[in-house]
Structures are given as C-alpha cells and as structure tokens.
Amino acid sequence: MTVDPGALQAGWHRTRRHLDDARAHLAGHAGIDLTATLEFLQHNELELAFDCLVDIGDALDLPLAFWQHLDRAAREMRLYSDALHKSHLTAADLCRRHLAAASEQG
C-alpha cells in the first residue's frame, strides 16, 4: 500500500490542530503540567500526546468541546478501530466514555 506523503502531512496537521484545541481548554487549570504533552507534539508523537491529554482530562470536569477535539483527533488517527483489537481499556475508550457523558450533560 502506497501512502501519499501529502495526505499524510495533511492528516498530521489536522490531528495536531485538534490536539492543540483540546490543550487550550487546560490552560486555565492550575497545577496541570503539559510539558510531556508539548514534547510529544514537538516530536510529532501525536498518539502519545493524545494519551496524555486524555489522562489529564480524565481527572477533571472538562467541557464537551474538550472531548470533541480529542474525539476528532482519535478519528483522524483511527484510534477507535485500533482499540477494538486490544483487551485493555485504551485512551480512545476513555475519550469515548467522556464524550458520551459530556454530551448527555450538555
């Protein structure tokens, strides 16, 4: 299977934008360290940045928009289909749970 480098770059940019938008929701929360997330983003380790953001968000009461941004990133990276083949709870699973709960509240 041949991967179009242009399409790959465009996907990375869309994913990065969704992750940055989610990260912006954490800016006003005291005591949150985003250093690891920023390092992952700088090295284009988008799935690891996603995992960090879900982990941070899991402990906070964040708005639906935060989870929607992460949901879009997960879809762009095809994490939901990957999660189906894992026997443990993944960050994508947690994202879906929070998205559903926030959608019911909002």
Query: DSSP secondary structure string, the chain?
Result: ----HHHHHHHHHHHHHHHHHHHHTTTT-TT---HHHHHHHHTT-HHHHHHHHHHHHHTS---HHHHHHHHHHHHHTTHHHHHTT-SS--HHHHHHHHHHHHHHH-
Q: Is the pLDDT of residue 83 over 60?
A: no
Which structural domain range is residue 53 located in? Answer: 5-105
Which are the contacts of 103, defined by CB distance < 8 A and separation ≥ 6?
64
Quick one: tokens of 72? 């879009």
Q: What percent of the chain has pLDDT over 70?
A: 92
Q: Domain total for the chain?
A: 1
Which are the contacts of 4, defined by CB distance < 8 A and separation ≥ 6?
none
Task: List, for residues 13-49, the tens digit of each pLDDT value.
Answer: 999 999 999 999 998 788 999 999 999 999 999 999 9
Q: Is the pLDDT of residue 84 over 70?
A: no
Task: List, for residues 49-78, the tens digit of each pLDDT value.
Answer: 999 999 999 989 899 999 999 999 999 998
